[in-house]
Amino acid sequence: MKTWALRQLRESAGQYAASVAVVAVVSAFAVLLLETIEVFAKVVSDAGMDGGDVRVALGSVAIVFLGIAVLVAAIVISNTFSMVYAGRVRDIALLRLIGATGRQVRRTSLIDGAAVGLIGASLGIVAGVLLSLAGIATVNASTGAGLSFVFAPQIVLVPLLGSVLATVAASFSGARTVSKVAPIEASRSMPEGQSIPERASKLRVGFGIALFLAGTLLLGAGLLVGLVTPVGILVAFPGGVLSIIGVIIAAPVLFPPVLAVVARLLPGTAAARLAGANLRHDPVRTSRTVLAMVIGVTLLTMFTVAGEMFIAATRDFFGDQTGETEEYIGGLLTAVYVLTSFSVIVAAIGLGSTLSMSVLQRRRELGVLRALGLTTRQARQMLLAESLLVSIVGVVIGLALGVGYGFVGANSVLGVQTFGPPVIPIAFVVAIVAGGLLFGAVASLAPGRRASKVPPAEALREA
Amino acid sequence: MQNVTKVFGSGDGTVHALRGVDLAVSRGQVTAIMGQSGSGKSTLLQVMAGLEPPTSGHVLLGDDELSTMNDEDLTRLRRTRMGFVFQAFNLLPALTALENIRLPFLLAGRSIDADTERWIELLVERLGLRERAEHRPQQLSGGQQQRVAIARALATRPDVLFADEPTGSLDSASSRDVLDLLRSASDEWGQTIILVTHDPVAASTADRIVRMSDGRLVDDWAGGSAESIAERMLEAGAR
């Protein structure tokens, strides 16, 4: 079993590259955040003040943004693992036929998970330390602050243990589905290609929708409480967390209707129609890909809307004497954008790799299309359309959720003074839509090229 | 096809899949290409259908020379003038049966005129797919999937239909069914069919049989019953 697992790992190395990159990005982000805290704490305590408060304050900010990046990464990685394992279904069934137990199959997945986690974390930690050194040098050069690198064990331990734990968990959950593969599947011919679309469990989706509704109720309650006292946020915040968890769980049923509407906006060309059908065919995988986008866009939108509402409210309250507040909130927003950008990078890698892997798994299908008359250009356009659909749907859902959260968040604090409508800067919407389209177009380049190179003779290969 | 060769690889690993094949397929006939695995019959099909370029020689469809066309022109040729039926059915799982049948028109970006619409309607009816038109391939039996594939191949009224082991994944009843359909497509509509198979029963529907061995055409006769074909193949194998 171990030999088989190691050989499979080697064969899947290319497909894991994106996961390794994702782990590396998040690990580097973790190192940067933790090192920033250490450096600040040292500066404060050198100045004779208590460094503990700084640690707590910055630490909670770090936990929130790191947590979000980890969440996005976990979604991307579990998508990768479930696709890799879906490609191995026949081999696994064969192993089961010869006598491997479901448990043995699951255990082999630990090797994949550990390898991805260890390699990604090591690369990320090295990159994070180098970035920290570069950052410190830049600050020193421009301000002469004389900062120095502070080594603390957690800047290595946290990303290392966190990454390995997360990847092992993701690979284990991905393997759970395939370890249920019946030995009989080995003898069954699968003329429709290797990948089986995943089905969402009704129970899970129901649970997700229930969480989403409960969260929405709490958000509404927070809004009402906010009319009386600023502590409305304490009611609204858990509501926001609950509802987004609900969205994540129920995504396979919540997203496809949005996808269907957006798909209708595309031109009725072969490439676009096939792209829409492909995405609808595997709602679980599609919604996981969309989800990574949704989280990034939701965060950016939420902070932007809430920030602008705070600015609008202070303007109402203090008239025009608000330059300083606006500058302060603007600065906070910039910080939020920078912190969120790591999650957005992770989502971008995830979109590109999901598309690339789907091309690998659809080789026969692409061969058939080529044999029946799909030109290489249409093949590239099909992948472009898939990618654009995913990013547009992600932007649409993210904008809707973000505006909602931003609106509730701001009013649950400010409502008692001025209850305001959501402020949605047009420039922001334009930027995020344009960004989403660009992001989708770029992510489709490599997989599109790959798809156009599938030879039509692939259709004739025996199943 | 005139003096067609196909060589894969180079140096020690060179495989001569086709060693100078001459073959003229008559319009309106069912021609079966037989041979053991490794005889070159699949390569012959790929080269004839413009899926693989020949190493040398000429491949013609009517007056059009396939061997010199670029990928774009070949692709257009395939979608307008050729039909394909595969062993593995190869329907697109994301599309319904009817959408699969209409796929060649979607790929060509052509709207379907009233005449073609009636033709598709007729095919769906004749192939007994009316009740199944909105089903996904996964919901259909093997025989039904292959009938959808045949409808897809006939929908564009191609000059030639290539069938690669069309009964290879089917039980004997469904096989019979599929072979009868191909036969009647030829009899009723004059459809030219090239059938690649190693199954004497499938080959018995053909008007003409050619046998390949080691990349060459070694036999060419008018076919006959499954028994007589099997006998002739066995004799050839024993020599």
Structure tokens at A433: 């839509």
pLDDT in tens, B129-143: 999 999 999 899 999
Predicted structure pTM score? 0.85
A378 at B interface, C-beta within 8 A: yes
Say which amino acid occupies B69.
M
B83: β partners: B161
Chain A partners of B108 at a C-beta cutoff of 8 Å? 270, 373
Q: Give the residue from A330, A270, A344, A269 showing the smallest Cα distance to A300.
A: A344
Sequential pLDDT tens for chain A (463 residues): 778 788 878 877 878 888 999 999 999 999 999 999 988 888 888 888 877 777 888 888 888 888 888 888 988 888 888 888 877 777 788 888 888 887 888 888 888 889 999 999 999 999 999 999 999 999 888 888 788 888 888 889 999 999 999 899 888 877 777 777 777 766 554 433 344 556 667 888 899 999 999 999 999 999 999 888 888 888 999 999 999 999 988 998 889 899 989 988 888 888 999 999 999 888 888 888 898 889 889 989 999 999 889 888 888 777 666 678 788 888 888 888 888 888 888 888 888 888 888 888 888 899 999 999 999 999 999 999 999 999 999 999 999 999 999 999 999 988 888 888 899 999 999 999 999 999 899 999 999 999 999 999 888 876 5
A411 at B interface, C-beta within 8 A: no
Q: How far apart are CA A419 and CA A133, in angstroms?
A: 46
Taking the C-alpha atoms of B116, B121, B125 and B128 in order, what is their torsion angle to the nearest 10 degrees? 90
Q: Where are the domains of chain B?
A: 2-91+157-238
> ipTM, 2 decimals?
0.89
Give one DSSP letter per residue of chain B, joined into a string: -EEEEEEES-GGG-EEEEEEE---PPTT-EEEEE--TTSSHHHHHHHHTTSS--SEEE-EETTEESTT--HHHHHHHHHHHEEEE-TT----TTS-HHHHHHHHHHHHTPPPPHHHHHHHHHHHHHTT-GGGTT--GGGS-HHHHHHHHHHHHHHT--SEEEEESTTTTS-HHHHHHHHHHHHHHHHHH---EEEE-S-HHHHTT-SEEEEEETTEEEEEE----HHHHHHHHHHHHH-
Q: How far apart are CA B218 and CA B228, in angstroms?
A: 17
Work out the number of other CB atoms within 10 angstroms of the CB of residue A61: 15
Asked if residues A182 and A368 have their Cβ atoms less than 8 Å apart, the reply is no
Asked if residues B173 and B10 have their Cβ atoms less than 8 Å apart, the reply is no
Sorted by sequence, the CB contacts under 8 Å of residue A430 that are 6+ apart come out as: none
Asked if residues A126 and A32 have their Cβ atoms less than 8 Å apart, the reply is no
Residue with tokens 């996005």: A72
- For an interface test with A, the pick among B41, B47, B48, B75 (most A C-beta atoms closer than 10 Å) comes out as B75
Structure tokens at B230: 């099997």
B195: β partners: B32, B163
Say which amino acid occupies A456.
P
Residue B211 CB-half CA count within 13 A: 20
Task: Name the residue of chain A whose CA is nearest to B153's CA.
Answer: A372
Q: How far apart are CA B138 and CA A240, in angstroms?
A: 40
How many angstroms from the chain centroid is the CA of residue B238?
Answer: 28
CA distance to partner chain A, nearest, from residue B234 (Å): 25
CB contact under 8 A, A191 and B46: no
B111 at A interface, C-beta within 8 A: no
CATH for B2-91+157-238, among 3.40.50.300, 3.30.70.20, 3.40.190.100, 1.10.3720.10? 3.40.50.300
pLDDT in tens, B37-73: 888 888 899 899 988 888 888 899 988 988 889 999 9
> What percentage of chain A's residues is helix, strand, coil (to nearest 5)?
85, 0, 15
A364 at B interface, C-beta within 8 A: yes
Task: Name the residue of chain B whose CA is nearest to A278's CA.
Answer: B94
Give one DSSP letter per residue of A67-90, joined into a string: HHHHHHHHHHHHHHHHHHHHHTHH
Work out the number of other CB atoms within 10 angstroms of the CB of residue B224: 15
Task: Name the residue of chain A whose CA is nearest to B139's CA.
Answer: A192
Q: Give the residue from A335, A326, A301, A276 showing the smallest Cα distance to A409.
A: A301
Q: Which of A373, A457, A462 sits opposite B87 (nearest CB)?
A: A462
Asked if residues B48 and B21 have their Cβ atoms less than 8 Å apart, the reply is no
pLDDT band at B152, cuts 50/70/90?
A: very high
Interface of B with A in 175-214 (CB under 8 A): none
Asked if residues B200 and B233 have their Cβ atoms less than 8 Å apart, the reply is yes
CA end-to-end distance (rounded Å), chain A? 25
Q: Give the residue from A286, A290, A228 showing the smallest Cα distance to A436.
A: A290
Chain A partners of B95 at a C-beta cutoff of 8 Å? 277
Going by the DSSP 8-state scheme, the letter that residue A460 receives in this structure is G
Residue with tokens 């909602």: A404
Task: Name the residue of chain A whose CA is nearest to B53's CA.
Answer: A457
How many angstroms from the chain centroid is the CA of residue B15?
Answer: 24
**Looking at the predicted structure, is the pLDDT value of residue B231 above 70?**
yes
Cα→Cα distances B128→B146, B152, B187, Å: 12, 14, 19
Asked if residues B196 and B41 have their Cβ atoms less than 8 Å apart, the reply is yes
Task: Name the residue of chain A whose CA is nearest to B86's CA.
Answer: A460
